[in-house]
Each structure stands twice: as C-alpha cells, then as structure tokens.
Amino acid sequence: MGSLKVSIVTPDGPVYEGIAQMVIARTKAGELGILPGHVPLVAPLKIDVVRLKVESGEEWVAVNGGFMEVNGEEVNILADTAEREEDIDINRAEKAKERAEDELSRAKEQKVDEVMAQLALQRAINRIHAKEHN
C-alpha cells in the first residue's frame, strides 16, 4: 500500500506533519476515507476527529472546522484549531465541556448566543473524544 504526506496546520502553526496510509475525516458532506491516488478535492470539515492510519497504528487529531485539500499523494488540512490527542489536557477539556453546557443551558433560557454555546460544546466534546478514544 502507498502512503500520503499529511499536513495539519492552524493559524498558530503546524500541528501534524507526517506520513499516513489513510486519512479519515468528517466533511460537511459526510465521512471520507482518503487513500493514496485519491481524486483531487477540497472539502469543508466539521468539528470532529481526523484519524490517521500510520504504520504504528492510528493517530487522532481533534480538528475544529477548516478545509481539507487532497491532491492524490498529499492531504493538507487547514483547520481553525487542532490538537493531537497527546497534547490534549483532559481535565481542561472536561471543564470546557461543563462551561459550554452551562452556557448552552443559559442561552436556551435567554434565547441568545445558543449557536455559539453549541459550537463551544461541540469543540469540547471533540477534544475529549480524541483523547479518550481507546
């Protein structure tokens, strides 16, 4: 099986640079599995985990929106924010989830900022999911 050069970059800089045999990402149109030789595409990403099948197993990166560009032998992800699973502080993520749930509850009561609270909750849950997948 061939390999893909994978790059995940945020406005703060690179988060992941490496080689993978497969990249699995959730786009606005659904989940995509990218193998070497994949047809070129650009797709907007949802808040979710990008799974990288590598020789040593699987690596997970929590990606919070952005775009994925595929050109057959490379996958470039330009994300709003992203964290590798080993860089996620689970206690901080749990506290962010609790704050987001509280904000969402208040937003529903007050009918304001509900969308922002839902996005904050999605990001927190995504980080926890990336860290605790095993």
Determine the pLDDT at residue 125: 87
Q: Tokens 């990403």 appear where?
A: 45
Count of CA atoms in the C-beta half-sphere (13 A) of 125: 11
Residue 116 pLDDT class (50, 70, 90 cuts): confident
CA–CA dist 97, 132 (Å, integer): 14
Report, in angstroms and rounded to the nearest whole number, the Rg of the chain calculated over CA atoms. 16
Q: Quick one: tokens of 126?
A: 């995504």
Could you tell me the residue ranges of all domains in the chain? 2-82, 89-131
Residue 108 has what pLDDT? 67
119: confidence class by pLDDT, cuts 50, 70, 90: confident
Confidence of residue 30 (pLDDT cuts 50, 70, 90): very high
Confidence category of residue 111, pLDDT binned at 50, 70, 90: low
CATH 3.90.960.10 correct for 2-82: no
- Residues 6 or more apart whose Cβ sits within 8 Å of residue 110: none
Looking at residue 34, its pLDDT comes to: 95
> What average pLDDT does the structure give for the chain?
89
**Other Cβ atoms closer than 10 A to 11:** 9
